[in-house]
Structure 1
Amino acid sequence: MRAIDLLNGRLKLRHLVLVVAVADQGSVLRAAEHLRLAQPAVTRSLREVEQILGVELFSRGPRGMTPTLFGEAFVEHARAVLAELRRAGERITGLADAAVGTVTIGTLLAGSNVLLPRAIAALKRDRPGITVVVQEAAFDAQVPRLLDGEIDLILGRLNPIGDVRGLRQITLYSEPVRLVARRGHPARERAGLTLADLMDYPWVLPLEQTALRHELEQLFRSAGLGLPADLVECTSILTIRSLVCDTDMIAALPELVARTDAAIAPLPVALEPVRRQVGVTLPDQRALTPSARLMLQHLRREAAEISALVTGSGSDPAERG
């Protein structure tokens, strides 16, 4: 098969939509229902795509349709093409009317609980017609969607991108990570509190695949300590907060989280090597839509104010209305 075969007009946009639908739905019947088409029409169109490509895209089995090696590759490219077309429409809309549009932000599970709401509020004050979509997931799960164009940017603690091509990162600010506990925690009564003293209490730590977890494990090792014996692994800020407030659990959270929550407070145990670099991960080659560009401008502006707060100047973020 030559590449030119895909550009001679036989392959239609509807073929791409159909193949992605079959992959997502797992069967021709469910894909037909999803697309509101008759099942024979979907079957016929799928056969047309396979004839054009000269390969079988799906294995038919009792449990439905499973993409073949060829199918996985083609679905990946079909998603990227459809995402780019959606983005083209959004960009044209944004250029025609800068007051409307959509920006989709992927935020990490332990993402920017202070920066993101402030930036969204600022954007909506500036352009109330822009729709902001926030989707939360781990960094590794967000990257393929960013590369495919399903999301515009990833916001949160910067993770190493390694040898993943097509990405660039912008650091917005840096803040310390603090050990926190509820204000009435019994550890606060101990004089000269050390990290070793805290091993007697239950902990809630990030998941193993997170950058913060790796830094905390290095901190424990440098102090000659293992992981806490009584341990919960979690990256949901809401769940962590509830556990810390309602029990004697100890957690490692960004300083601004502790400073904006009246129920918890930092413990007097330094974590100097551990800091959180907050920033955005962007596609390297793809231009941002007008709405995404405006979002990034507000993120930069709000991050500059937060950076001043972290270094000790300015007002508390909770005081801004």
Structure 2
Amino acid sequence: MAINMHVPPLTSLLGRLRLRQLSLAVAVEELGSLRKAADRIGISQPAATKMLAELEAALGLPLFERGRRGMVPTVYGRALNRHAHLVISDVGALRDELAGLASGAAGRLAVGMITAAAAGPLSIAIAQLKQRRPRLDITITVETSDVLIPMLEQGRLDVVIGRPVQTDHGQDIVFTPIGPERLSIVCGAQNPLRTRPDLSLCDLAEAAWILQPRSSPLRQVVDASFREAGMETPANVVETASILTAATLLQHSGMIAVVPHSVALHYVSSGMMAILPVMLTRQLDPYGALTRKTRAAMPALSELMALIPCEPDP
């Protein structure tokens, strides 16, 4: 079927595009194989070949090309699939809301949050929302902002409590500040460093550190603080975004870590960590709520945001 390289008007697309075509395009990109994509959506390979050709003809653009590692999306295919993820996610949200209404439930809310928010006011706000809406299905994903925001862009999350990171499609994201996030350098409660009042960042350069992955905003702040102190980021590093893993390592070693201050206070009160008297020269930007402009308003999300107190700068 010939491709005319001419994008048709919206009215034509609404009459010709089908959800299964979009599901096929997403599967082809993820699996790199038309046969595997056909298996995923439950059709034969010849039917998938025909469906993909019809999709390309409807759009007037080539969506995939064959590479050494299988089917590879063109620039048009990547753009299509970015929007296809959102369409499929929104249809899923529609299905969940209708199913919830039919069963007497109250819908679904998918929340992504950074660790500082998980240890702070957001978790309290979610508990309060659950009391008000006991049949609301709430799912929570705790990760770094650089991991959560692509999930928001794909429609897999309704809101991210984190901070903006640079992406190719950030124009669809709205950021509403909530509050600042201090950082603390911590060690295990039995670490001898906890008794030294005269520590400096230079004194800790040779220690073993637990740091978040290089792509995370927190890690970038740590790296910048070492540069401003005229030092390289320590080479003896364990990288993890898991606070539980970091807390366990601190308890059983002489390692040190950088964690949000709210998290540090939680573990200090439980006798698992000590905060060292060393300040980083850089701090994280305020965190807040990130949502998609193009996502329909959700009453449960609006109610959750109203329950989260904004914190003043320290």
Q: TM-score range by the shorter chain?
A: 0.7 to 0.9
Match for residue 82 of structure 1? 88
1:295 aligns with 2:304: yes
Q: Does residue 9 of structure 1 match 2:15?
A: yes
What's 2:107 paired with? 101
Q: Is 1:173 the counterpart of 2:182 in the alignment?
A: no
In the TM superposition, residue 141 of structure 1 has moved relative to its aligned partner by 3.9
Residue 182 of structure 1: how far off its partner (Å): 1.0
Mapped to 2, the partners of 1:40 and 1:18 lie a distance apart of 13
Figure out how many residues of one structure are paired with residues of the other and give that number. 303
Within-5 A mapping of 1:34-73: 34-60=40-66, 63-73=69-79
Is the partner of 2:185 in helix, strand or coil? strand
Letter aligned with residue 119 of structure 2:
V
SS, match of residue 204 in structure 1: strand
Alignment correspondent of 1:260: 266
Question: Which of 213, 219, 224 is equivalent to 2:225?
Answer: 219
Correspondences of 1:151-162 after superposition (within 5 Å): 151-156=157-162, 158-161=163-166
Structure 1 residues 40, 273: closer, same or farther in 2, change over 3 A?
Answer: closer
Q: CA deviation at 1:146?
A: 2.1
- Find the counterpart in structure 1 of residue 24 from structure 2: 18
**Counterpart position of 1:233:** 239
| Inter-partner Cα distance in structure 2 for 1:232 and 1:174 | 26
* Residues 1:286 and 2:295 are matched in the alignment: yes
Tell me by how many angstroms 1:162 deviates: 8.3
Report the CA distance between 1:93 and its aligned residue. Answer: 6.6
Q: Are the structure 2 counterparts of residues 218 and 45 from structure 1 closer, same or farther at C-alpha, using a change threshold of 3 Å? A: closer
Q: Match of 1:318?
A: none
Deviations 1:186-239 (A, max 9, x none): 113335233322234221223333322233233334444332342233322122
Task: Report the alpha carbon displacement of residue 96 of structure 1 after superposing the two structures with TM.
Answer: 8.6
Q: 1:142 aligns with which of 140, 143, 148?
A: 148
Deviation at 1:260, TM superposition (A): 1.3
1:135 to partner: Cα distance = 3.3
Secondary structure of the corresponding residue to residue 23 of structure 2: helix
Structure 1 residue 152: deviation in Å?
A: 1.0
* CA positional deviation for 1:88: 4.3
Whole-Å Cα distance in 1 between the matches of residues 280 and 7 of structure 2?
Answer: 58
The CA distance in 2 between the partners of 1:50 and 1:63, in whole Å, is 21
2:263 partner SS:
helix
Letter in 2 for 1:168: V
Matched AA of 1:11: L
In structure 1, what is the Cα distance between the partners aligned to 2:74 and 2:31?
15
For 2:164, the aligned partner's letter is N
Structure 1 stretch 255-264 or stretch 62-71: which is displaced more? 62-71
% same residue: 33
Q: Per-residue deviation at 1:179?
A: 1.1
Q: Is the 8 A contact 2:13 2:58 kept in 1?
A: no
Contact 1:254/1:276 (CA < 8 Å) preserved in 2?
Answer: no
Alpha carbons of structure 1 residues 64 and 162: separation in structure 2 relative to 1, 3 Å:
closer
Structure 2 residue aligned with 1:202, among 199, 208, 215?
A: 208
Do the aligned residues in 2 keep the contact of 1:50 with 1:57 (CA within 8 Å)?
yes
Unmatched runs of 5 consecutive residues or more in structure 1: 312-321
Q: Does 1:113 align with 2:118?
A: yes
Looking at structure 1, the residues matched to 185 and 148 of structure 2 have their Cα atoms a distance apart, in angstroms, of: 28
User: Are 2:225 and 2:281, in contact at CA under 8 Å, matched by a contact in 1?
Assistant: no
Retained in 2: the 8 A contact 1:98–1:290? Answer: no
Distance 1:190 1:70 in 2: 59
Q: Distance in 2 between the 1:59 and 1:2 partners?
A: 19
Per-residue CA distance 1:34-59 (angstroms, 9 max, x = gap): 22233333232222222323443223
Deviations 1:47-96 (A, max 9, x none): 22223234432234675432233322222232233333334455667789
Aligned: 1:183 with 2:192 = no
Query: Aligned to 2:139, which of 125, 133, 157?
Result: 133
TM-score, normalising length: structure 2: 0.81
